[in-house]
Structure formats: C-alpha cells, structure tokens
Amino acid sequence: MVYLDNNATTPIDPRVAEKVGSFIRGNFGNPSSLYPLGREVKSLITEAREEVAAALGARRQEIIFTSSGTEADNLAILGLIETQPEKREFITSSIEHPAVQKTARYLEGHGYTVYYLPVDQDGIINLDFLKSVISSNTVLVSVMLANNEIGTIQPVEEVVKIAHHYGVPVHTDAVQALGKIDVKVDSLGVDLLSLSAHKVYGPKGTGALYVRKGLDLKPVMHGGHQEFGLRPGTENTAGIVGFGEACRILIEQWKKDRDRIEKLAYRLKSGLEKKIKEIKFNGHPIKRIKSTLNFSFPGLAAEAILLALATAEIYVSTGSACSEGSGEISHVLLAMGLSPEEASSAIRFSVGRFNTEEDIEQALAEVPEIINGLRRTFAD
Ligand code: PLP
C-alpha cells in the first residue's frame, strides 16, 4: 500500500507505540491519587507536558491536554469568549478546519457577529480586511497557521501585530503546522495555539492547547480540577504519554524529516504535472507546507479518483477528513475562487515520515494511468 494521506492522520511512530504499550502495561494509577501509583503517572504526565511545551518553546504550565485538536480549538474559542461576555464580535478566516469554522457558526447562532477573512487565489488571508473589521468590540481572532487541505501558511505574526494593537488576543490552529514548519509561540506571538497528537505520529484522541501565561480562560466543561482546572476529567494518560514521546522525537528529527519529505513531495508534484495533461495545482507556490499537494483534475469527480486509487491501494483524500463523505464541496477551494466543478475534482496527496522513494515511484507509475483511464471512461 502507498499511504499518501498523512494530513488526515499519521501512522504511529514505533517508538511512540512502544512507550505507550509499556506505559499501559505498567501504569494504571489515577494521576490525581496521592499514593505512589498515582504520583508516578502524574510525573510521567508532567514529563509529557514538558516535551510538548519544548516543541513550542513554551512553559509546561502553559500546556492543557485535551481529547483532540478539535477540543483544543473549542476550548480556545469558547473558553476565551466567556471571559469577556460584553464583547460580541469574533474574527476568523474563511478557510478554517471545521473545528473552528463550526464553532464560529455556533457563535453566530448565539448572537455574535463573525467576520470571515477572505483569501486570495493562493489561499492567503486578506490582512486589510482584518484591519477594516477589527475593533475594541472584537473578543478574539482565530486564524490557522497551516491549512489542512492546501497547506497554505498564514501570516499569523502579522495577524498578531494587528490584533494586539487593539488589545485583542489571537488563537491559531497549528494542528497541521507542528512538525512541518518551526512552530514557536514567542516568534508567532499568539495567545492560544491548538495541537493534535495524531498528526505528528502520536496516538489518536489526544490534543493540547497552549495558553499564554496570564491569559484568562474559562473551562467549557465542568468537573474535577485536572489540567489546571481548565479541562476536567481523568486524563487520557496513555495518549498524553504518547504525545510527549511524539514531540520528543519531533524535536530531535523534524528538520531532517522535513528535508526528506519535501524532496519526495517535490518529486511527486513534478512527476504528476509532467505525466497528467489536465491538472491544476491548488495552493500558494511558496508559502505552504511542501508535503501537502492539492490538485484539481478537471472533468473528474474527486470521489471517483479516490476510489479508483484505493483499489490500487494508493490512499489519498478529497480534502478535510471531517467533510469527506458528506458530499460538501470544499469551502477552502471555493473561498480561493475555484468553481464548484474545479473544487469537486480536487485530490490531496500528503507525504509523511514513513513514505519512501518507492512509494513515490509507485504513485507516479499508477496515478497518471488511473486518471487517464478514468478520463477515457467518462469521455466514452
Ligand atoms: N485542525 C486542523 C487544521 C486539522 O487538520 C484537524 C484534523 O484534521 C483538526 C483541527 C482536528 O484535530 P483532531 O482530529 O485531533 O480533532
């Protein structure tokens, strides 16, 4: 099989699997228990918190573990707006992951005015629009760092400069950025930042929210005192330990990984563009995660391509895993100005740590043939 859907999820790194396995076998204690069984687990969680914090250049007290990137996004937005209920305006981009986009829609349903920053044809947000709508009534700005469908990297530092001028905090969804570009909270200047373990070769069902020291945030669920009172519920201890290990490995090797992965992705991109006649690249030529390749294949339906590739055991995606199967056309591609036809013919290839040169050669041998075959079928 050739797995080219690393933006949907990554295979667990064997070192993470090993660590999680031995943790589960040896540690069943509740980290809130005061006797040694609990204490031991608590200290392993603290270690993991330090590892996640180190990957971001943050302090361990600034990391809140959650059940997912989605929960981290929800906690960031809903937890922050509760601290300033008198402010009723929220700003986000028009190309966010559903974890932020649907939360924005929820706020609209609760009387908030939400501004969606438009993007240009390459998928970069319009900062002038931000300047025109931000005000002292804005409670929060949330702009993703790297887009999951097209990989575009947003000018989050610029967003922070503009927002902080008005005293408005900034959240960024960095779920797709961690491990692919340098993600440091101080150079970005953000106040809140979301992560997910399963995008960085860690276990599924574990996320984290960075909360800058001194920022007021309220919990959105109510219960115990876990996670500094911000996320009640007995911790997903194995998931957290695995996330820590995944971050330890990232710190050690992400740059080496990146260089290798980018070369593979470049080879895939140029090979596909050479071998397939009608193919249109979607995304910014430079300001993007290079391992993410999004192409439209005019005249074909993305689902037909995806299924045909799957029969050859080549696994790709039509975009966001969350909207896959829903029949919805990508809001990201539509926001960039693609026609519904172009947008519904788009396929995302995403390369990761465990892809090899052979994977890319196999994809290059089979994908063009499959696409051309589908074109012949639909032309007949
Ligand atoms: N944000 C982005 C940009 C994502 O790509 C994803 C997952 O695809 C999420 C948030 C949600 O993360 P999780 O799957 O951990 O809920």
For residues 261 and 266, give the distance between their C-alpha atoms in angstroms, rounded to a whole number. Answer: 9
* Four-CA torsion 295, 300, 304, 308, nearest 10 degrees: -70
SS (H, E, C) 146-167: ECCCCCEECCHHHHHHHHHHCC
For residues 303 and 347, give the distance between their C-alpha atoms in angstroms, rounded to a whole number. Answer: 9
Ligand 1 atom at shortest distance from the alpha carbon of 206: 15
Q: Average pLDDT, stretch 295-319?
A: 95
pLDDT score for 322: 44
pLDDT score for 67: 98
Find the 197 Cα to ligand 1 centroid distance in Å: 10
**Does the pLDDT at position 93 exceed 80?**
yes
Ligand 1 atom at shortest distance from the alpha carbon of 73: 10
Among 6, 199, 204, 331, name the best residue to mutate to test ligand 1's pocket (greatest count of ligand atoms within 8 A of Cβ). 199
pLDDT score for 325: 55
pLDDT score for 321: 44
Q: Is 350 left (phi over 0), alpha (psi -120 to 50) or beta?
A: beta
Mean pLDDT rounded to a whole number for the chain: 96
- Convert the pLDDT of each residue in 255-266 to its tens digit: 999 999 999 999
The residue whose C-alpha atom lies closest to atom 8 belonging to ligand 1 is 8
The residue whose C-alpha atom lies closest to atom 12 belonging to ligand 1 is 69
Contacts of 161 (CB under 8 A, 6+ apart): 189
Find the 351 Cα to ligand 1 centroid distance in Å: 17
- Convert the pLDDT of each residue in 234-254 to its tens digit: 999 999 999 999 999 999 999
Confidence label for 350 from pLDDT (cuts 50, 70 and 90) = very high
pLDDT score for 328: 82
- CATH 3.90.1150.10, applies to 2-9+254-379: yes
- Convert the pLDDT of each residue in 266-282 to its tens digit: 999 999 999 999 999 99
**Does the pLDDT at position 324 exceed 60?**
no
pLDDT cut 70: percent of the chain above it: 97
Pocket of ligand 1 (CB under 6 A): 68-70, 73, 97, 99, 144, 148, 173, 175-176, 196, 198, 207, 321
pLDDT score for 116: 98
Ligand 1 atom at shortest distance from the alpha carbon of 198: 15
pLDDT score for 109: 98
Find the 140 Cα to ligand 1 centroid distance in Å: 20
Q: Is 322 a catalytic residue?
A: yes
Among 196, 209, 330, 331, name the best residue to mutate to test ligand 1's pocket (greatest count of ligand atoms within 8 A of Cβ). 196
Architecture of domain 14-249: 3-Layer(aba) Sandwich (3.40)
The residue whose C-alpha atom lies closest to atom 5 belonging to ligand 1 is 148
- Convert the pLDDT of each residue in 299-309 to its tens digit: 999 999 999 99
Ligand 1 atom at shortest distance from the alpha carbon of 207: 15
- Convert the pLDDT of each residue in 51-92 to its tens digit: 999 999 999 999 999 999 999 999 999 999 999 999 999 999
pLDDT score for 378: 79
pLDDT cut 90: percent of the chain above it: 96
**Does the pLDDT at position 147 exceed 50?**
yes
Q: Name the β-bridge partners of 51.
A: none
- Convert the pLDDT of each residue in 171-210 to its tens digit: 999 999 999 999 999 999 999 999 999 999 999 999 999 9
- Catalytic residue, chosen from 301, 322, 334, 364, is 322
pLDDT score for 94: 98
Among 9, 12, 70, name the best residue to mutate to test ligand 1's pocket (greatest count of ligand atoms within 8 A of Cβ). 70
For residues 298 and 263, give the distance between their C-alpha atoms in angstroms, rounded to a whole number. Answer: 26
Find the 12 Cα to ligand 1 centroid distance in Å: 16
Q: Average pLDDT, stretch 218-224?
A: 98
- Convert the pLDDT of each residue in 6-51 to its tens digit: 999 999 999 999 999 999 999 999 999 999 999 999 999 999 999 9
* Four-CA torsion 118, 121, 125, 129, nearest 10 degrees: -50
**Does the pLDDT at position 110 exceed 80?**
yes
For the record, the structure tokens of 249 come out as 């490995």
Find the 221 Cα to ligand 1 centroid distance in Å: 20
Find the 76 Cα to ligand 1 centroid distance in Å: 14
pLDDT score for 326: 59
Find the 49 Cα to ligand 1 centroid distance in Å: 20
pLDDT score for 346: 97
